């Protein structure tokens, strides 16, 4: 899998998990959904993604 696909899978999973938690646990989990969305927007503008750095340092994707 490419690095971009890992990032998309992780971001999508975070969003779906936080929406489920907001529905069944607390609506405050929607703040996490907003954080992930803001991170995606920021990375599209600046071309820098923290998750990309984390995955590279972990040796998961190169």
Higher-confidence residue of 11 and 60: namely 11
Answer yes or no: is pLDDT of 62 > 80.
no
pLDDT band at 1 (very low <50, low <70, confident <90, very high): confident
Where residue 47 falls (left for φ over 0; alpha for ψ -120 to 50; beta otherwise) is left
Q: What is the rounded distance in angstroms from the CA atom of residue 51 to the CA atom of residue 37?
A: 13
Average pLDDT, the chain: 95
User: pTM of this prediction?
Assistant: 0.88
Q: What is the rounded distance in angstroms from the CA atom of residue 20 to the CA atom of residue 40?
A: 20
Is the distance from CB of 3 to CB of 55 less than 8 angstroms? Answer: yes
pLDDT band at 4 (very low <50, low <70, confident <90, very high): very high
Tens digit of each residue's pLDDT (9 = 90 or more) over 19-37: 999 999 999 999 999 999 9
């Amino acid at each position: 899998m490419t690095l971009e696909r890992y990032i998309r899978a992780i971001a999508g999973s975070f969003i779906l998990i936080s929406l489920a938690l907001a529905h069944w646990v607390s609506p405050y989990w929607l703040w996490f959904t907003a954080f992930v969305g803001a991170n995606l927007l920021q990375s599209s503008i600046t071309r820098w993604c923290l998750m990309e750095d984390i995955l590279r340092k972990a040796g998961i994707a190169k």
